[in-house]
Structure 1
């Protein structure tokens, strides 16, 4: 028990949000009479929150560096509008239009990153200007009207599912197989990490707790994939999210660039004295944010099957909230990709659960605001205790 308590205290940011997500899920599962965790609703949860989770990954890197990006919703709307013009009006093929859209996002990120990193204008001002600029450009490009429908191939980004094996039964067999494979990879990775830590005489979990942790996560993975298998299987967008999480977790934990991002957020002066090219890091973090904002805009447009002038409204607020609820520090230097995803899921489950129980949008907004305030207050309280 003492080991468990110590483990929780040392990882309170990570485990606290996981516990919060679990409790919120159980609460709304009870209040909705079991509807929340039905296969159809879980699939809808993934589809409804996918574009916010994509944004949250990029926003996390921006927040870790001590900056903020208020323009991502407008950039997502602008890229969605441009992609609609290319694919619907100009009949451009899917892949070239996708590539051009991503390049536009990168250019937008480079534009804003230049003003923040090299001209030293605060990111709040630069991205606030960007929010207004690209919202206006979206309305100009669309001329105040929606453009639809997108080609079926493009729609499958958000509405498609992985195909199953030929002659499969009602259960989606490929989804079950992928769950088993993912479980095996997870066990192997955790075992390898534990062996490496022991070889360097690092503290590791006792054998019993380690086995319990593996068993719990493997059960969650396979129950999750089984629930998805009872409907249509794994959505295409879930594969995209999984790839993004793996890539960005690796970058932030195992690469020089990731260490430089954390160092910049911890102390810009100290990072600069240590040889970190702080301007260069800030610039590329904003380029990355532009790329992910473009990707989010494409995902949202594919789900809506239309480009609209009102697309992306409040996306930036949801992405920022997901990062802070997931344990990112308001002062920079702290945060994880997994934490941002968990924060986004907390927001998504709350939105979905409150809608299912019939709470109006006014109550939903108020409750989400309180949750965000409590999350940031929790961060400040922890810092004051460790100071």
Structure 2
């Protein structure tokens, strides 16, 4: 018990967000009479929040470096509008238009990163200007009208599902198999991590607690994949999200670039004296944010099957809220990719659950605002406690 309490206190951000997500899911599962976790609704939660989760990954890196990006919603709308012109009006091949759109997003990120990193204009001002600029450009490009429909291959990014390579009748057996494989990989990864920690004399969880932790995670993974298998299986967008989570978690935890991002956010002057090229790191973080904002815009356009002038409204607020709720620090230097995803899921489950039980948009906005305020207050409380 002493080890459990010590582990929880030292990882309160990490475990607190998971516990909050589980409690919110349990609450709305009861309030909605079991509708929340039905296969169709669970799939809808993933599809409805996919573009926010993509933005949250990029926004996390921006927040860790101590900056903010208010322009991501407008960039998503602008790139979505350009992709519609490429694919619908100009009949450009889907793959070419997709890559070109991502490059345009990265170029926009480079433009904003230049002003923030090298000219030293505060990111709030630069991205506020970007929000207004690219929202205006979106309206100019679309001339106030929507453009549709997109090619079928492009729509499948948001509406398609992974094919079933087995014949399982009512169940999508490929999804079940993937759940089992993920469980095996999880066990292997945790045991390998434990072995390395013991090798270097780090403190490790007692074997009993590790077994309980693995058992809980395996149950969650397999119940989740079973519910998805009961409908159409794994959505294509979930595969994209999984790949992004794995890549960015690896970069932030195992690569020099990730360490530099954390160092910059923790103390810019100390990082610079340690040899970190702080301007370059800031620049590439904004380039990355631009590319992910473009990807988010493409996902949203594919889901709507149209590019609209009002696309991306409030995306930036949802992405920022997801990061802070997921444990990122308002002062920079702290945060995880998985945490940002969990924060986004907290917002998504709350939106879906409140809609099902019939709460009006006014109440929904107020409750989400309170949750965000409490998350940041919790972060400040922890920081003062450990100071």
Query: What's the TM-score once normalised by structure 2's chain length?
Result: 0.99
Q: Deviations over 1:16-44 (max 9, x none)?
A: 11110011000000000000000000000
CA distance in 1, matches of 2:8, 2:249: 21
Correspondence 1:305 to 2:305:
yes
Q: How does 1:46-57 map to 2 (within 5 A)?
A: 46-57=46-57
Q: How does 1:108-123 map to 2 (within 5 A)?
A: 108-123=108-123
The runs of at least 4 aligned residues of structure 1 exceeding 3 Å deviation read: none
* Paired residues, number: 387
Q: Distance in 1 between matches of 2:159 and 2:208?
A: 42
Shift in Å, 1:166:
5.0
* Alignment partners' CA distance in 1, 2:200 and 2:11: 21
Correspondence 1:201 to 2:184: no
Other-structure match for 1:332: 332
Unpaired runs of 5+ in structure 1? Answer: none
Cα distance in 1, alignment partners of residues 77 and 220 from structure 2:
35
Alpha-carbon distance in 1 for matches of 2:68, 2:54: 16
Deviations along 1:91-144, one digit per CA (max 9) or x if unpaired, are 111000001000000000000000000000000000000000000000000000
Identify the residue that residue 240 of structure 1 maps to in structure 2. 240
Write out aligned runs for 1:39-118 (5 A).
Answer: 39-118=39-118
- Does the aligned pair in 1 maintain the 2:166–2:174 contact within 8 Å? no
User: Is the partner of 2:214 in helix, strand or coil?
Assistant: helix
Between stretches 19-28 and 194-203, larger displacement belongs to 194-203
CA offset at residue 200 of structure 1? 1.4
> Displacement of 1:168 after TM fit?
3.2
Instruction: State the Cα deviation string for residues 205-228 of structure 1 (Å, max 9, x = none).
Output: 111111111111011111100000
Give the Cα–Cα distance (whole angstroms) in 2 for the partners of residues 136 and 71 of structure 1: 12
Task: Note the alpha carbon deviations across 1:217-259, whole angstroms, 9 max, x for none.
Answer: 0111111000000000000000000000000000000000000
**RMSD (Å) for aligned C-alpha atoms:** 0.6
Secondary structure, in 3 states, of the residue corresponding to 2:292?
helix
Tell me the CA shift for residue 167 of structure 1.
3.5
Instruction: Provide the rounded CA distance (Å) in 2 between the counterparts of 1:193 and 1:165.
Output: 33
Matched residue of 1:33: which SS? coil
Match runs of 1:136-285 below 5 Å:
136-165=136-165, 167-285=167-285
Partner of 1:284, secondary structure, is helix
Matches of 2:29 and 2:168, distance apart in 1 = 30
Partner of 1:11: 11
Task: Quote how far apart the aligned CAs of 1:6 are.
Answer: 1.2
Map 1:373-384 → 2, pairs under 5 A: 373-384=373-384
Classify 1:274/1:4 alpha carbon distance in 2 versus 1 (closer, same or farther; 3 Å). same
Q: CA deviation at 1:201?
A: 1.5
**Structure 2: how far apart are the matches of 1:84 and 1:120?**
35
CA–CA distance in 1 between the matches of 2:321 and 2:167?
44
Local SS of the residue matching 1:111: helix
